[in-house]
Amino acid sequence: MPHFMFYAPNLTSQDIGGGPVMGRYPYLINPRPHAYLIVNVGSAEREQINQEESPLIKEVCAYRADLCLHDESRMGQAR
């Protein structure tokens, strides 16, 4: 899940119009006083990152199966 993460002290989900963790985006981790704002990258950016990091993704997948991308099209090639 490629994303941007920003330090956002003293913010709440209501301040940003976000949802609960892993719910609606954007969302906060550890709201108040040391929150981090999480914003996912777009689908084009995600595809580019997965293409560029394909060797690392394969290595991680070989190390531990539960870390594999299950949608092979995300990597642009079959494993």
Blockwise average pLDDT, block size 10, the chain, 79 residues: 88 78 73 86 90 91 86 43
CA distances from 49 to 1, 44, 53, 58 (A): 10, 9, 6, 13
User: What 3-state DSSP class applies to 7?
Assistant: strand
pLDDT at position 77 is: 44
**Interatomic CA distance for residues 21 and 6, integer angstroms:** 15
User: pTM above the 0.75 mark?
Assistant: no
Angle of helix 43-52 relative to helix 54-63, nearest 10 degrees?
70
